[in-house]
A = this chain, B = another copy of it.
């Protein structure tokens, strides 16, 4: 490998293995969701949030962590609504807000797809882990995730130079 200045082989190995495993898992998950439910991963996550919430969420609440732009959520919510999986209605409390709720069909589809989703996760990620591995992984990833969440959103990537032109 190209020994990047500053990462020792152990750090590099952990980083690459982590990244590749996440990428392989995500790809298989997306394959499954598309084939079995016609859903993208984002759409699945949105349905999961709504199913989990047990009631309507505003667009802003729904967006949190799943999508990085308002318009992106409007687009996805539009697709889900057109497919009859969610409804959108103005909130009585705050006339500016839109309340998104999952429909019967949405719940049915989500439930149907969920079992296959779990199967993918189990067979790819969980099967090769011992009980001890699972404890370690859970502890480490929870700590890392919380650390990432707490970082200043932008400055994690230090601004050394002006933005380059894209290819």
Contact = CB atoms under 8 A, between A and B. Distances in A.
A48 B167 contact: no
Copy number in this complex?
2
Interface in A118-167: 118-129, 133-138, 140-145, 147-149, 151, 154, 156-161, 163-167
A166 to B, nearest CB: 4
A166 B5 contact: no
Interface residues of A, number: 88
Contacts of A21: 141, 144-145, 148
9 contacts: A13-B138, A18-B22, A18-B125, A24-B148, A25-B148, A34-B164, A38-B165, A43-B167, A128-B143
